[in-house]
A and B are shown apart, each in its own frame.
Chain A
Amino acid sequence: MKKLFALVIALIMVLSLGSALADDKTTVVFWYSLEGVNAETIKGIVDEFNASQDKIFVDAQYQGAYDDAINKLKAAGMGQLPCDIVHSYEIGTRFIIDSGWIVPIQEYIDKDGWDTSVIEPNLLAYYTVDGRINSMPFNCSTPLMYYNKTAFDEAGITEIPTTVDGILEIAEKLTTYNPDGSIDRYGFLFSNYGWFFEQWTGKMGREYVNNGNGRESYATQVMFGEDGAALDIFKMWEKIAACPYTAYIERGGTSAARAAFVAGKTAIFLASTANLAGVLSNVKGAFEVGTAFFPYVNPEDKGGVSTGGGTLWMIKSGDEAKEAASFEFIKFCVNPENQAKWSANTGYFPINVKAQETETFKANLEKYPQFQVALDQLHASGPEYVGSLLSVFPEVRQYVEDVTEKVFQGQLTAEQGVEELVGLANDAIETYNLVNY
């Protein structure tokens, strides 16, 4: 009897195993790199996708910041990569294409007949490399100027500055003092963030690296030395350093400036549009928040901003079912409704132009009109200011921050700063190209 029982149990187990295999879903491992509200929103999209159908299961895994995720990929190396979709930043583009780990998403777009004209033209321009779209834009942002509108009104400032010089001029009026004479609220707090340097170069309409900003073929040297972009920017930093109503607050990000802004300790700060939702919810109506275009360096500048943010890459696995499943999920992420929701919850742009027609998007815009500025800025920038491609971008960005700091603190003059920066950047590019191409 006992034996029979065991046999029956075994039989049931074998059968259930068989049936489990039969309706086994295709599992897609998705590495994402955002935190906080943004991560919650991504997880929400994934859960919804998993619930919406029963063929594909997306396993979303947080892998640290963009840099960490890319490092993990590199460490995993040439063998079987541990994921199917990777979320990475715009400056990783050249490197990931070169790595050979990915399937250009264009292949699946063609197979599926997916309409690429719904992608924001500027984003399409940025991510079209070697004549094809390599990765799907997902979260995209541009830098904005955030200002304390209440403080502006109190100081009687009606004209919003469009250049850094303009900001420095009104900084005095916006500054308030403690009873003991120390500064309570600065006119402007500066973050030393390499991304801004790239944006200012673009806003001057100049190139960051040679060979068509690294788009015609891989870059062999930086251009910001020769065409004067770096000098203009460093001269601007010297002016900022000389202004007593501003201060240098941090490097490599904008979180400290944002914390100060939210606490009412600075009237202006610069940061990505992706901060918008967070800033508004942190300020909680303590003062009115205004947004404006990212300022120019020189009043005569005519260029535009390029897009920052992240894209979704399909990892080459050789398993067509998996790749097709990955593409299904990516399509889901960028459909109008999800992009509208994404945009409303975070402050990133919807990459899908049709998202702007959805109710979710319209309702959000009505609630936060500040967001319109971000959209206008993106649309005011022509696709020709798409930004550059450079394999050693993360490294060069760090050098930019290093040297900016030295110029700001007076260790180097603007001219010496340019010389040092160009030397470091060109050496990095040269060494990389020597070994990798």
Chain B
Amino acid sequence: MTTKMAPARKIKPHKIKKTTYEIIEPWLFLLPALCVFAVFLYYPLGKTIYLSTFLTDKFGNAKIYRGFQNYLDILNGKYSREFWNSMWVTVRFVFFVATGGLVMGLCTSLITVNKFPGKAFASAIFAMPIAIASSAAAMSFKMILHKSIGLLNYILGTSINWLSDPVWTFPIICILSIWLASGINFIFIGAGLRNVPDELYESASIDGAGYWRKLWNITLPCISPTLFFQIIINIINAFQSFNLVKLLTMGGPQEKTNLIVYSIYLDAFRNFRFGTAAARSIVLFLIIMVITLIQFRAEKRSVHY
């Protein structure tokens, strides 16, 4: 990108004095967007930072100033065991769900990229998770995963309590989340695949490349912008996952599914400790920001536009 821009810089621009209106004009165009951001992003962010330094009363009003004490409490104090546990749970969850959703989306879209009988039906099935409300799905799965009357145990001939078993609950929540995330991955990656120029495949075929060779050397590089976008979206969505845990496990068993967003919810809306909840949110915000920055650095190396 920079190399293309370079020649343009060599031409010395003719300096024109801007009128006041011309200086203001771009800001006017930005104003509506800035207003929306200010109301829904910057103000809440500022307020969250402010609240994170206070103890709040039962109405959520800031009451007692605590400085960094709330942060110390969660990072290395009375809430730290629970906080780091939920951090660890979240990191593993994000890893599995983001990669799982991506891989599943990639596989399903590769299956449906070629014509075959029943393609429309298969596509509909693969895209369906988008249309499924995760709360409704959770309620259905609550029964499917039931210990004694559940469909899953009936099919497998087992008697596992999928939603309270310390070994199985976490994988089950991951699998459900991957399934719910796969729909949007399928749509985006599928769109990416359709934009790969056919000539590349043709010439590769003439050169004698097989399916896997073409996949590795043509398809993946060509859809790498889409994959990159999907990775970021998957990671952010996974970090913000909440519904399944709220409805199916309530963070249990033994806090093994206590995702960070759920723990923030509990702290804020069950315990009414908005101060520590705000501090948790800020820590989460910083973590997501760092991860996103790292991803953008990685993008320069591995994504081809």
Task: Using CB atoms and an 8 Å cutoff, list the residues of chain A in contact with chain B.
Answer: 67, 71, 74, 77-78, 95, 98-99, 180, 182-183, 186, 189, 247-252, 256, 259-260, 263, 265-266, 391-392, 394-395, 398, 401-402, 405-406, 409, 411, 427-428, 431-432, 434-436
Q: Is the CB of B143 within 8 A of A395?
A: no
**25 cross-chain CB contacts under 8 A:** A71-B269, A74-B59, A78-B59, A99-B58, A182-B157, A182-B159, A183-B159, A248-B161, A250-B163, A256-B147, A263-B148, A263-B149, A391-B58, A398-B266, A398-B270, A402-B251, A405-B253, A409-B253, A409-B254, A411-B254, A427-B78, A432-B272, A434-B64, A435-B58, A435-B64
Contact assessment for B252 and A402 in the assembled complex, using a CB-CB cutoff below 8 Å: yes
Which A-chain residue is minimally distant from B253 (CB atoms)?
Answer: A405
Residue B299 CB within 8 A of the other chain: no
Contacts A189-B148, A247-B161, A398-B250 aside, 18 further interface pairs with beta carbons under 8 A come to A99-B59, A183-B159, A249-B148, A250-B164, A251-B253, A256-B142, A259-B149, A260-B149, A391-B58, A394-B270, A395-B271, A405-B252, A409-B166, A427-B78, A432-B58, A434-B64, A435-B57, A436-B57
CB of A357, distance to nearest CB on chain B (Å): 41
B252 near A251 (CB under 8 angstroms)? yes
Q: Which residues of chain A have C-beta atoms less than 8 A from B280's C-beta?
A: none
Q: With A394-B270, A405-B254, A411-B254 as known contacts, state yes or no: A434 contacts B146, CB within 8 Å.
A: no
A227 to chain B, nearest CB (A): 25
Interface residues of B (CB under 8 A from A): 55-60, 63-64, 78, 142-143, 146-149, 157-159, 161, 163-164, 166, 250-255, 266, 269-273
Which chain A residues lie closer than 8 Å to B161 at the CB level? 247-249
Q: Which residue of B lies closest to A98 (CB)?
A: B58
CB distance from B73 to the nearest CB of A (A): 10
Do A435 and B78 touch (CB < 8 A)? Answer: no
In order of increasing CB-CB distance, the 6 nearest A-B pairs are: A265-B148, A263-B149, A260-B148, A435-B57, A435-B63, A395-B271
Q: How far is the CA of A402 from the CA of B143 in the complex (A)?
A: 22
* Complexed CA–CA distance, A401 and B250 (Å): 10
**Main SS class of interface, B:** loop
CA distance A338 to B247 in the complex (A): 34
Given known contacts A189-B148, A431-B55, A251 and B60 CB-to-CB distance under 8 angstroms: no
Q: Say which residue of B164, B266, B272 sits within 8 Å of A251 (CB atoms).
A: B164
* Cβ of B166 to closest chain A Cβ, rounded Å: 6
Measured CA separation A259–B78 after assembly (Å) = 39
A186 to B147, CA, bound (A): 11
Write out the residue numbers on chain A whose beta carbons fall within 8 Å of the beta carbon of B270: 67, 394-395, 398
How long is the Cα–Cα vector from A260 to B148 in the complex, in angstroms? 6
CB A82 to nearest CB in B, in angstroms, measures 16
B271 and A436 contacting across the interface, CB-CB below 8 Å: no
Contact B271 A392, beta carbon cutoff 8 Å: yes
Contacts of A77 in B (CB 8 A): 59
Contacts of A432 in B (CB 8 A): 58, 272
Cα A229 to Cα B233 in complex, Å, equals 49
* Chain B residues, Cβ within 8 Å of A263: 148-149
The reply to whether B146 and A260 form a contact with Cβ atoms under 8 Å apart is yes
Given contacts A74-B60, A78-B59, A435-B63, contact A249 B255 (CB under 8 A): no
Query: Which residue of chain B has the shortest Cβ distance to A252 in the bound complex?
Result: B250
Q: Output the least CB separation between B213 and chain A (Å).
A: 48
Q: Are A402 and B266 in contact (CB under 8 A)?
A: no
CB pair A266–B148 under 8 Å, yes or no, is yes
**A57 to B232 Cα, complex, angstroms:** 52
For B269, list chain A residues within 8 Å (CB).
71
Cα of A375 to Cα of B111 in the assembled complex, Å? 63
Chain A residue with the shortest CB-CB distance to B62: A435
Is B55 in contact with A180, judged by CB distance below 8 angstroms?
no
